[in-house]
C-alpha cells in the first residue's frame, strides 16, 4: 500500500495523515453509542489488536515466567533475579523486534514514517553520540531496574496478602472488566505526571532526557531519567488500592513499558500481507515530541488535553492556539 493513499509528505520530508486528529468516540458530543462500541471492539480499537496482545504477554508472563506467589513472601535474591532477568529479556525482544524490522532491516523503507530523517548517529545531544545507544542505555540501565523494583514490591505484597485481591473464580466480572480498563486507567495517571514533568525545573533537570528524541524510534519509548521512571511507573500503585489480581498489575506496568516502544516507533502504520497497513504508531504523541507543549496524554482518551486546552489535532490552527497559549504564560 502506497503511503500517499493514506497521507502526504511535505517538502521537509515530514509525513502527516490525511485527516486531523479527533477526540475518540467516548469523548464526543452528542454521545455516539455505536461509535463507542466501535472504539472498544473495532480493529484497531481499544481491545484489538494491541491491548489484547499486551494482556496476553502479561498472562504468559504470570503463568510461565513468574515464580509461584508463595515463594515471594520474602525478598530473596533468587526470585528477584528471575523477575529482573525476564524483564530484561522481554524488553530486548519486544523493543528489538520493532527496531530491527523498521530501522535495521528497513522492512517498509520510509513508508508511513513521520519523517524521513534518520535516527541520529553523530550528535553531541546523545551519549556516545548515538541516539539508539543513548536510548538503550536509559532503557536497560534505568527503566528495567526501576520497573522491576515496583513489580517485586507489588508481588511481595500480594504474596503476603497485604493488597486487596480478586481471582477469576471469586469475581469473574470484575476480573474481566479491570483487564479492559487498565489502559483507560493509565490515562488518568499519565496526564498529571507528564504535565508536572514539563514544569521548567523538572523539565530542565529530568524530562529533557526523554525529549532529546524529537525524531523518535522504538528505543525512545521509555528512554527517561531515573526520576521520571520513578514517577512514570508509579501507576502500578493503583493496584495497592483497588481489588485486583497480579495479572492486572503485570498488565498495567508492562503496558507502561511495551506500548511506548510501539507508540514511539516513528511510523504511523506497518504494512502487512498484501496491500493492508495496520496503524501502530501514535501521531498524537509524535506531535508532542515535535512541538513539546501539547498532547500530554496517552492517545487513548485525551480528555485532560481537551479540558485544559492542550489538545493538538495536527492543524496549523492548533499550532497557532498553542503558540498563543505559551505567550500568555
> pLDDT tens track of the chain, all 329 residues?
556 566 778 778 888 888 889 889 999 888 999 999 999 999 889 999 999 999 999 999 999 999 999 999 999 999 999 999 999 999 999 999 999 999 999 999 998 999 999 999 999 999 889 999 999 999 999 999 999 999 999 999 999 999 999 999 999 999 999 999 999 999 999 999 999 999 999 999 999 999 999 999 999 999 999 999 999 999 999 999 999 999 999 999 999 999 999 999 999 998 876 678 888 878 999 999 999 999 999 877 899 999 999 999 999 999 999 999 988 87
The pLDDT assigned to 3 comes to 61
Residue 196: which H helix or E strand, with range?
helix 172-197
Task: Pull the grid cell for residue 187.
Answer: 490515562
Which cell is 126 given? Answer: 546523545
Task: Report the candidate in 124, 143, 294, 119 with the shortest Cα–Cα distance to residue 223.
Answer: 143
| Number of neighbours of residue 75 by Cβ within 10 angstroms | 10
pLDDT in the model for residue 274 = 65
Residue whose C-alpha is closest to residue 290's, from 227, 193, 182, 211: 211
Instruction: Report pLDDT for 23.
Output: 87
> What would the 3-class secondary structure string for 124-161 be?
CCCHHHCHHHHHHHHHHHHHHHHHHHHHHHHHHHHHCC
pLDDT for position 196: 97
Please return the burial class of 162, using the count of CB atoms within 10 Å of its CB with bins 0-12, 13-18 and 19+: exposed
Residue with cell 487513548: 300
**67, 79 in Cβ contact below 8 A?**
yes
CA 144 to chain centre: 15
Residue 170 is inside which H or E element, if any?
Answer: none
The grid coordinates listed for 170 are 471469586
Q: Is 146 exposed, middle or buried (0-12, 13-18, 19+ CB in 10 A)?
A: buried
Q: What is the pLDDT of residue 257?
A: 98
> How many residues does this entry show for the chain?
329
The C-alpha atoms of residue 145 and residue 85 are separated, in whole angstroms, by 10
HSE value, Cβ hemisphere, 13 Å, CA-based, for 44:
17
Domain ranges in the chain are: 49-281
- Using an 8 Å Cβ cutoff, are 189 and 252 in contact? no
pLDDT on residue 276: 81
State the distance between the two ends of the chain, measured CA to CA, in whole angstroms: 44
Q: What is the DSSP letter of 267?
A: B
CB 35 within 8 A of CB 326: no
Amino acid at each position: 500500500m502506497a503511503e500517499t493513499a493514506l497521507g502526504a509528505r511535505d517538502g521537509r520530508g515530514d509525513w502527516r495523515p490525511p485527516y486531523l486528529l479527533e477526540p475518540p468516540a467516548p469523548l464526543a458530543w452528542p454521545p455516539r453509542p455505536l461509535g463507542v462500541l466501535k472504539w472498544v471492539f473495532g480493529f484497531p480499537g481499544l481491545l484489538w489488536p494491541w491491548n489484547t496482545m499486551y494482556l496476553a504477554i502479561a498472562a504468559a508472563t504470570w503463568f510461565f515466567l513468574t515464580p509461584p506467589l508463595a515463594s515471594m513472601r520474602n525478598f530473596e535474591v533468587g526470585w528477584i533475579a528471575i523477575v529482573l532477568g525476564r524483564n530484561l529479556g522481554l524488553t530486548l525482544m519486544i523493543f528489538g523486534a520493532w527496531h530491527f524490522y523498521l530501522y535495521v532491516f528497513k522492512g517498509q523503507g520510509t513508508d508511513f514514517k513521520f519523517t524521513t530523517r534518520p535516527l541520529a548517529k553523530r550528535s553531541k545531544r546523545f551519549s556516545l553520540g548515538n541516539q539508539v545507544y543513548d536510548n538503550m542505555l536509559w532503557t536497560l540501565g534505568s527503566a528495567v531496574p526501576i520497573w522491576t523494583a515496583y513489580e517485586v514490591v507489588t508481588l511481595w505484597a500480594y504474596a503476603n496478602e497485604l493488597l486487596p485481591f480478586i481471582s477469576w473464580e471469586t469475581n469473574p466480572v470484575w476480573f474481566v472488566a479491570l483487564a479492559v480498563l487498565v489502559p483507560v486507567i493509565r490515562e488518568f495517571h499519565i496526564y498529571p505526571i507528564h504535565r508536572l514533568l514539563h514544569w521548567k525545573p523538572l523539565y530542565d533537570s529530568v524530562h529533557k532526557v526523554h525529549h532529546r528524541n524529537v525524531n523518535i524510534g522504538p528505543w525512545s519509548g521509555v528512554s527517561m531519567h531515573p526520576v521520571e521512571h520513578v514517577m512514570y511507573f508509579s501507576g502500578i500503585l493503583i493496584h495497592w488500592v483497588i481489588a485486583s489480581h497480579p495479572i492486572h498489575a503485570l498488565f498495567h506496568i508492562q503496558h507502561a513499558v511495551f506500548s511506548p516502544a510501539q507508540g514511539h516507533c516513528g511510523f504511523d502504520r506497518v504494512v502487512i500481507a498484501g496491500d493492508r497497513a495496520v496503524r501502530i504508531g501514535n501521531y498524537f504523541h509524535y506531535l508532542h515530541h515535535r512541538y513539546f507543549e501539547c498532547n500530554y496524554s496517552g492517545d487513548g482518551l485525551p480528555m485532560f488535553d481537551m479540558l485544559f486546552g492542550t489538545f493538538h489535532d495536527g492543524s496549523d490552527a492548533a499550532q497557532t492556539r498553542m503558540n498563543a497559549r505559551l505567550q500568555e504564560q
